[in-house]
Structure formats: C-alpha cells, structure tokens
Chains A and B, each alone.
Chain A
Amino acid sequence: MTTSILSRPIHPTGLWAWLTTIDHKRIGILYGVTAFIMFLSGGIEAMYIRLQLAAPEQELVSPEIYSQLFTMHGTTMIFLAIMPMGAAFFNYLIPLQIGARDVAFPRLNAFSYWTFLGGAVMLKSSWFLGGAPNAGWFGYAPITSSAYNPGHGIDFWILSLQILGIASLAAAFNFIVTIINLRAPGMSLMRMPIFTWMTFVTSILLILAFPVITVALIEVMFDRFFGTNFFNVGAGGQPLLWQHLFWVFGHPEVYILILPALGIIAEVIPTFSKKPLFGYPVVVLSGVVIGFMGWMVWSHHMFTVGLGPVANSVFAVTTMAIAVPTGVKIFNYIATMWKGSISLTTSMLYAIGFIFLFVIGGLSGVMHSSAASDAQQQDTYFIVAHLHYVLFGGSIMALGSGIYYWFPKMTGRLMDEKLGKLNFLLVFIGMNVTFFPMHFLGLDGMPRRIYTYDSDMGWNLWNAVSSVGYLILALGVLILIVNIIWSVLSGEKADGDPWDARTLEWSMSSPPPEYNFEHIPIVHGIDPYWEQKREGLSTVPISGGSGDDDSHGIHLPQPSYWPLLASLGLFVSGYGLVYLSSSIGLVVSIIGAAITMVAVYAWSFEPVNDPDEGEGH
C-alpha cells in the first residue's frame, strides 16, 4: 500500500470526479459529448467545402486551405466523431446489456477516453499551429513525404492517429474481455443483445486493423524524421505499399464504423415493433461474416492503381459477395417490423431512415465493386455520394436513432418528440439534398478533392443544390442540439423502461445507479427483460445466495488519477515528437514518455480498493 504515490481520489461530484472517474457510464457520456463536439467541428469544415463549391470559380478559401479542410473533415468524422460516438454507446451500454457492474478494466477504460481526447485535441490544434494536414484522410505516399510536404501538418496527422490508435486498441481489448468474461449467468453468446454482438465483432476488427495502420504510420514517420526510404521513390520506395497497408486497415475500418450502427438498429427496431428480432442467429452470423469478409476486399479501393485484371476480378467478386450478408441483415430488420406493432417515434424514424439510405449506399457500393465500370467512378463525386450514404445515411442516422433511444436511460428524461421529428425530417431531407446530387456530379465527371471548377463544366446546378442541402442539414443538427439541451434541463421525466423495451438495461432506473444492478441478473433468453415482463421469467436471482444482496457489499472500482496522467504523458510526448527536429521537441517528448511510464508504474501498484487511504495522509 505504501507503493501508492497518490492516494485514490474520492471526489463524488465536480470536475475532479469527472477527471478521475472510472465509471463506464460517465466515460460513455464523456465520449459522447466529445464526439458530438468533434462532429460539429467536422461539420464546420464541411461548411467551408460546400461554400467554396456552391458556385464555380470561387475563391473563398485558398487551394492549400481547401486541401486541409477535406483532409481534416474526413479524418475528424471517421476518427473523432463516428468511431468515438460508437465508443460512447459501447461504454454506456455494454455492461448494462450483459448484466455487469462495469467493464473488465475500468481504469484502462478511463485511459482510453483520455488518450482519445489527447489525440483529438492534438489533431485539431494543428489548425492553429502552422496548418492542418493536407494530404487527404488517406494520405497516399509519397505526397506525405517531407519532399512534397515539408510543414508540420502531416506530423500532427501521423502522431495523433497513432495516439488515437492506442486509445482504440485499449478500448477494444477492454470490451472483448468484458463481453467474454462479465456476462450475467445464463447469458450465453447466443443470447447476447445484437448491439453487444456487434461491439464484440467491431472490437476484434479494431484489434486486427489498428496495428496495420500503425505500422504504415510509423514507416511514414521514420521517412520524415529519420530519413528512411519506405516511400522514397528516388531510392526505390514503393508508394503502393502504403496503399495496401492503409486499405488493409481502411476497409475493416468501414465496418468498424457501420457494425455498431447495424447493432443499434437491431435494438431499436424490435423494441418499437414489439417483436423479437427476426432471425437472431442469422443476424449474428451475418455480422460475423461481414467482419470476416471485410478483410478480403481492401483492394477495391485500388481498382485503378494497376494491380492487374486477376487481382481486380478477385476483389470485385469478394466485394460483391459482402453485399449478401449485409442484405440479409436489412431483410431481417424489415421482417422484424412485418406484422409488428410499429410506433413511429423519432428513434424509430431514424432507424427506418437508416434502412432506406443504407440500401442506397449499399447499392452504389455494388456499382463500384464492378472494377471495370469503377474506372469511371473512382475518385469522383460518385464515390463521395456513396460514402456519405453509407457513413451519414448509415452510421450517423443509426447513431441518431441510438441517441433518441437511450437518452432517457442516460439522463432520466425523454427527448422532445415534436422537436425530434422536425430534427429527423430536416436531417433526412438535408442529407438527401446534399449528397444525392453528388451521384450526378460524379457521373458527369467531377473529380473529388478539387477546390474549384470551371463554370462551363455543367456542374453548377448540382453543386448549388448540394450546398443548399447543407443548410437544411445544418438546421436539422441545430434542432438536435436544442432538443438535447432542452431535454436534459426540462424534458419529461422517464421511468426505467419508457419504450417497453426488451433488454436488461431497461430493467433498472433511469439513469442507472452507479453500481448498475443491485443483483447480478439471471438471463433466460434473448430478450430477458421482455420475458420477465410478459412471461414472468424473472431476472432477479432467488435471494439469500450471494453477498451482493446487501447494497453496501457491492464492490465497485475506485476512481484513479493514473489513467489521466498516463494519457497526458502520451499527449505531451506527441507534441514533442512533432517538433523532434528541435532540441526542445526532443526534451518534451522524453518528458512526456517519462510521465506515461511513471503513471503506468504507479497504476500497476495502486491498491485496488482503499477508502481510508485518501483521508489520512
């Protein structure tokens, strides 16, 4: 016990409580709020893009700033908005859905969040420190090398992505262990809620995908900092190596973004249809198959780089094949609604909107899986349209559905349905007005990532329409913000189960007590809470068994300073490495590394549970 350098913090409320919390619910809220702010910042970057392209030959932003804008928009939305928004739901919900009191490694969980925040702040700060990265979110070598990109933007990009990778890996390990080990008695794998299943698959994808991009980023970093020649063309470096590594990561990353969305939808639709999920084992299996096949399609991002007809044919066919399990999920979701009793709440509208838009995105995906015709579509606005139908129409609509669905659980208040429906309608219309015309632009030959276009190209009308769509979309998001704030403050009070839902998280009060479950529940089926309500299969264990009955005896992990400090060290070290060429940078990076090492050491020796320690010394 004397090895503890700092005693464990004991702040129940206030800033320090949030900084040292290891409660998965609080960490989930931190993730959610941060991701939402990052979503808005990525939206502001998109605003400049749409303003610039609203009419031909505009000079609102310079070409250099435009490059930074689309690079940051993509990187932000993928790594700082959609992924962590998914992580917010993982954090908040997984222990509740599987009947646990926290995740397996609560301090590691806090470390994940603070490391993510550090990476996010670091990436965003590049705007104010000499310019943001400007090589696209895909950063194709050799345009990221010092010869073509001498500024620090790329350094910020490679280092913050590595820091974000650490955060994602830590979180993914945590959720895998949690899901495998902490399920309540009776919850076999094939009784897990679909959202938990998709979290499980996503976490496995994260663990396998992030090392690949980390290797690629380290290679670029070594090229830039130490003059190695991984991508130095003059010395025989191979730019295609980067593309393979990037997309071996990048395509599973797409499923990292969409599988949680498919999981959310599989929770929302059964609840608001009052029916069990149609074909539960098939939906689980198709999710696993998607996760597996996601590794066999990466070269469809590279159909035009000249891999040859054999490789292109193989990847065309595997890509088409992945549409089958995806389609199966969609059909099962519709079949779940069939003969149901559907209430069109905002959450459900988002879920239905998700299906409609994701089908469009999926079908345009099949269009470019055809490598030969993709030669006309690759790197045009047709791809931009496709990816936004998948990531906005897919991931973000599902996250919207999830926000409206679980908000009462998280806050104890319902969101306003009138504002909600207006919000949904504007987002749905705005999203289509913004992104659908991009299909036309792409087929009409407009390349991606051009900062301007001539007025005689025939692209004026649809660009203008798309920019108007942005305004509608932005208004919709604004109403969402108003709704969230208003509902947190004075929304209608929600009881534990406002939707007559099916899974365990609805069996407790809203918001849940810190310890989640007074008794670790017992699970009898796929929809344990529904079965308890309708069939009398109680999830409450027969009392007198374990020591858990006495609420004073509930063992909860204690808050800790160390995860925060360990993350802080990485953050400091990251800045140092950006400026490694100067001696100050070197010193700062060493200091950062030292902070992390000390923190991890102290973390390892921290007493598990020592309420008295905090007061005496």
Chain B
Amino acid sequence: MWLMGYRIQSKYVVVMAFLFLLVFTGCTPSHHMSTFDTHGPVARSQLVLFYWIFWAAVFVFVTVSIALFYTVLKYRRRSGDPDPPQIHGHTKLEIAWTIIPSIILIVVAVPTVITIFDNANSPEPSALTIEAKGHQWWFEFTYPHPEEPDKKVVTANELHIPVDEVVNVNLESKDVIHSFWIPKIAGKVDMVPNHTNTIWIKADETGEYYGQCAEFCGVAHAKMKFRVIVQTKEQFEAWLKVQALPGLESADPLAVEGRNLFEGDARCWTCHKVEGSKRSRGTTGPNLTHFGSRNHLAAGVIENTQDNLRKWIQDPESIKQGTIMYRDAQVYTDPDKSLTESQVSALVAYLASLD
C-alpha cells in the first residue's frame, strides 16, 4: 500500500486497524457508568449534543492534521535548497480562517444553548420532588410522605423513582461540595452547601443504575456512590408505602438483643435514626429504618448481605477507608468498648430485620 509517496507495509495497516478497533471499544455502552448507554431524555440530549460537537471536532482535526503533515512532508529541506520566498502573510487567507471556525462554532453553539435551557427547566415543576442531600460520604434521600403531607420519608443511598415520569430532585449538602451524577440518566449537578440546586430526571426503562459523587469531597470520595432503582409506578408506590412505615420490631431474640445494643451501649442511636424507636433519633448518619430492604451498604460500595454487614460493622476500614463512623464512634475509638463477636452478630440480626 502506498500513501503520499511512502510505502506502507501491510502489517502496519493491521496494527492501525487494531488500534481503531481499540478506540471504539472505548465507548462500550454496557459498562455501568457509560455515558453512551442513555436511559433518559436528559442524558440522551447530552449525548446527541456530544456527537454533534464530536463530529465537528473530528472534521476540524482531520483537516488541520492533513494540512500539518502534508506541509511538513512536502516542504522538508534538501541540502542545497535556496532560501524559500519570504512570505509575510496573506490577508484574505487570514480572514478566511477567522471566519470559517467562527461558523463552525455557531453550528455548535446554537444546539448547546437550546439544550442548556431544556435541561435546566423541569418540564413538570409540580411532579414528584425528592430532596437529595450529600454527606461525607453518603447520600440522603427525602420523599414526601404518601399520605400525610407534613411528614417525610427518609432513606439513604438508593434512590427509587417511577419509570417514564419526570422527577425533580433538589440538591443540597450537609458539609462540603458533592455532585449528583447518574451517567445513564442525567449529567451531574453539584450539591453545594448554602446553595440549593435542582435537577430533573426521567428514566425510560426500569432497572438499577449507578450513581456516584463526582466532586472531590474528601478521603472516601471514591466510595461515595448510590444506586437509582427505576420501578413501575405501582412498584414505586408500594415501595414508598413500606418506607413510610416505622421500623419493624422483630421477635427474634438475637434481633432484640441487637436492638438493645443499638439503642444502648453501642451508642449507634446517637447518629442513626430508626423510625418508631424512641431512642434512635440521630441524624448524623444514614437513616436505617428500612436498612434491610436495601441492596447495598456503605453508600453503594458492597452488596447488603449478612456477611458483608458483619464485615462492615466489625471493620469499616476494610470496606471504606475514612468513614466518620469509624473515626467517631466509641466502639471503634475506645478499645474497651469495642464490639465482641456475639454483639456484632446481634447487631447484624437487628439491622437485617429492618426491612
């Protein structure tokens, strides 16, 4: 094969083809956080815009690269060459390459501005509105109570929404700046303390989607995740109804022992809330009223199984380094107060029973 007067060996063509193949595998939609696998109108509009600009950029890149390499190869110096003509400029050319890029940019700017406004303003301001609050290093979600308007339903790290419906989310932060991002459903909006933001989202397929904090927020930033669980309207309403109930009182003796520990010596109650309990009213940590019904723990880091829960209570650092629970709770800070194996079992039984 010949290219611009140079013979190109076929093995290089194979290598190049392989490289291109690799390049396109970069855009694998099956991945959990891929921005190419959109499942909602906001993410889709952002992807359409991306492709629009991407191809404009490819056009410019190819044009400039061809001009650059053609020039470099064609005008290489050969020994004995005289000085080339000393050209100082060409006004028309320079006007041309000021105006042509400007036109390309207008082509990009118009859909950009349209999409900015589309995505900023919720199409249904009166739709279901959820409060999302970032904490170091977990997400709190507050829903309106399905029956009593002055009450709220609070959960953590798993955002349930009904499919095919606009949901408005108010974004706040308890401490530092976080960012709320569900790549397959919508681009991110930051959670800034003293500055409430809003985002609207809509998912057009049921399923579980990955979300993650996108603004560096401290030591456990990498493990500040959440899941979005998109359900049919009926499933969602049933779920919300259950979440609105107080935490179940299990009769299992181990779970009762666990509750006593939770509300007593282990002092879990100072930071965690369990609706229905008189003691557990803390708000520093996640609300655990229906902890057992969640799929994941430690803010989307691992699956919520009894084994993982045991590991989490025994040694939070092995799952997520830097947690405030490990830093502040006396069962971890005071060696005399640390939990025994059986105490951990009791706590696991209690928490698992809260479904």
A interface residues, Cβ below 8 angstroms from B: 62-64, 67, 134-136, 140, 142-143, 148, 233, 236-240, 273-276, 278-282, 304-306, 308-309, 312-313, 316-317, 320-321, 323-324, 327-328, 330-332, 334-335, 337-344, 352, 355-356, 359-360, 363-364, 366-367, 369-376, 378-380, 437, 439-441, 443-453, 456-459, 461-462, 534
| Alpha-carbon distance A342/B214, docked complex (angstroms) | 46
B64 and A334: CB pair below 8 A? yes
Q: When the two chains form the complex, which single residue of A324, A332, A441 contacts B101, counting CB atoms closer than 8 Å?
A: A324
Q: Which residues 53-106 in B have Cβ within 8 Å of A in the complex? A: 53-54, 56-57, 60-61, 64-65, 67-68, 71-72, 75-77, 81, 83-90, 93-94, 97-98, 101-102, 105
A239-B193, A317-B109, A372-B46 known; A458 vs B32 contact (CB < 8 Å): yes
CB pair B34–A355 under 8 Å, yes or no, is: no
Taking a contact as CB atoms under 8 Å apart, the answer to whether A445 and B31 are in contact is yes
Is the pair B179, A342 in contact by a Cβ cutoff of 8 Å? no
Report A-chain residues with C-beta under 8 Å of the C-beta of B46: 372-373, 375-376
Given contacts A64-B322, A143-B177, A375-B189, whether A321 and B105 have CB atoms under 8 Å apart is yes
Give every chain B residue within 8 A of A380 (Cβ-Cβ): 214
Q: Which residues of A contact B179 (CB under 8 A)?
A: 304, 378-379
Q: Bound complex: CA of A371 vs CA of B46, how far in Å?
A: 9
Show the binding face of B for A, using Cβ within 8 Å. Answer: 23, 25-28, 30-36, 43, 45-47, 49-50, 53-54, 56-57, 60-61, 64-65, 67-68, 71-72, 75-77, 81, 83-90, 93-94, 97-98, 101-102, 105, 108-109, 112-113, 115-121, 136, 171, 175-177, 179, 181, 183, 186-190, 192-195, 197-198, 210, 212-222, 321-322
Identify which of B50, B71, B108, B195 contacts A334 (C-beta below 8 A): B71
Return B202 CB to nearest CB of chain A, in Å: 15
B220, A63: Cβ atoms closer than 8 Å: yes
**Is B84 a contact of A375 with CB atoms below 8 Å?**
no
Known: A143-B217, A342-B72. A367 touches B54 (CB 8 A): yes
The 4 lowest CB-CB distance pairs between A and B, nearest first, are A445-B33, A375-B187, A440-B26, A458-B31
> When the two chains form their complex, are residues A279 and B94 in contact, meaning their CB atoms are under 8 A apart?
yes
In this complex, the member of A372, A440, A459 whose beta carbon has the largest number of chain B beta carbons within 10 angstroms is: A372
- Cross-interface CB contact of B116 among A320, A372, A458, cutoff 8 Å: A372
Main secondary structure of the interface of A (DSSP, over half): helix
- In the docked arrangement, what's the CA distance between A142 and B242, Å? 37
From A67, A359, A439, A447, B219 is in contact (CB under 8 Å) with: A67
**How many angstroms from the CA of A273 to the CA of B105 in the assembled complex?**
31
- Contact partners of B177 in chain A: CB under 8 A: 140, 142-143, 239, 305
CB-CB under 8 A from A376, the residues of chain B are 35, 43, 46-47, 50, 183, 187-188
Residues of A within 8 A of B97 (CB): 327-328, 331
Residues of A within 8 A of B192 (CB): 239-240, 305-306
List the B side residues contacting A62 at CB < 8 Å. 321
Task: Give the CA-CA distance A140 to B171 in the complex, in Å.
Answer: 18
Chain A residues with CB under 8 A of B57: 363-364, 366-367
User: Would A458 and B77 count as touching, CB distance under 8 A?
Assistant: no
In the assembled complex, how far is the CB of residue A377 from the closest CB belonging to chain B, in whole angstroms?
Answer: 8
Chain B residue contacts of A449, Cβ below 8 A: 216, 221-222
Q: How far is the CA of A132 from the CA of B186 in the complex (A)?
A: 35
List, sorted by A's number, 26 A–B pairs whose CB atoms are closer than 8 Å.
A63-B321, A142-B177, A148-B175, A273-B75, A304-B214, A305-B192, A324-B101, A324-B102, A328-B97, A335-B93, A337-B71, A342-B77, A359-B65, A366-B57, A372-B49, A372-B118, A375-B46, A375-B189, A376-B35, A443-B34, A444-B35, A445-B31, A445-B35, A445-B212, A457-B32, A458-B30
Is A330 in contact with B64, judged by CB distance below 8 angstroms? yes
Q: Which residue of B lies closest to A456 (CB)?
A: B32
The reply to whether A317 and B35 form a contact with Cβ atoms under 8 Å apart is no
Q: Least Cβ distance of B184 to chain A in Å?
A: 9
Expressed in whole angstroms, the Cα–Cα distance for A262 and B64 within the complex equals: 17
The reply to whether B87 and A238 contact each other, CB–CB distance below 8 Å, is no
In the bound complex, how far is the Cα of B188 from the Cα of A281, in angstroms? 43
Assess whether B54 is in contact with A237, with CB atoms less than 8 Å apart: no
Main secondary structure, interface of B, reads mixed
Residues from chain A with a CB closer than 8 A to the CB of B102 are 321, 324
Task: Considering the complex, give the chain A residue whose CB is closest to the CB of B71.
Answer: A337
14 A-B pairs besides A278-B89, A440-B23 with CB distance below 8 A are: A143-B177, A274-B84, A279-B88, A306-B197, A306-B198, A312-B120, A339-B75, A339-B87, A340-B84, A341-B83, A373-B49, A375-B119, A379-B214, A444-B26
Q: Is the CB of A313 within 8 A of B113?
A: yes
Q: Which of A238, A339, A359, A444 has the most CB of B within 10 A?
A: A444
> For B72, what are the chain A residues with a Cβ–Cβ distance below 8 Å?
337, 342, 344, 352
CA distance A148 to B71 in the complex (A): 55
Assess the A316–B112 pair: CB atoms within 8 A.
Answer: yes
Contact A148 B176 (CB under 8 A): yes
Given contacts A360-B61, A366-B105, A370-B108, contact A275 B219 (CB under 8 A): no
Contacts of A343 in B (CB 8 A): 76-77
Which chain B residue has the least Cβ–Cβ distance from A282? B94
Contact A276 B175 (CB under 8 A): no
CB distance from A151 to the nearest CB of B (A): 12
Q: Is the CB of A324 within 8 A of B105?
A: yes
Q: For residue A348, which residue of chain B has the nearest CB?
A: B72
Contacts known (A140-B177, A273-B75); A317 close to B113, Cβ less than 8 A: yes
- The answer to whether A443 and B83 touch (CB under 8 A), given A143-B217, A304-B188, is no
Residue of A nearest to B65 (CB): A356
Query: Bound state CA distance, A337 and B121, in angstroms?
Result: 49
In this complex, the member of A328, A374, A448 whose beta carbon has the largest number of chain B beta carbons within 10 angstroms is A374
- A276-B88, A451-B222 known; A440 and B27 CB under 8 Å? yes
Cβ–Cβ contact A372 & B35, under 8 A: no
Candidates A340, A359, A379; contact of B188 at CB < 8 Å: A379
Say yes or no: A142 contacts B176, CB within 8 Å. yes
CB distance from A458 to the nearest CB of B (A): 3
A452 and B222 contact, CB distance less than 8 A: yes
CA distance A592 to B116 in the complex (A): 52
Knowing A140-B177, A372-B116, A458-B30 are in contact, say whether A238-B75 is a contact too (CB < 8 A). Answer: no
Contact: A371 with B176, CB < 8 Å?
A: no
Q: How far is the CA of A386 from the CA of B53 in the complex (A)?
A: 15
- A312, A356, A443: the one within 8 Å of B35 (CB): A443
Which A residues are CB-close (under 8 A) to B98? Answer: 324, 328
Contact A370 B112 (CB under 8 A): yes
Known: A309-B117, A339-B85. A462 touches B215 (CB 8 A): no
Q: Residues of B contacting A67 with CB < 8 Å?
A: 216, 218-219
B218–A143 touching, CB < 8 Å: yes
Instruction: Decide: A236 and B221 in contact? CB cutoff 8 A.
Output: no
Q: Which residues of B contact A233 (CB under 8 A)?
A: 175, 193-194
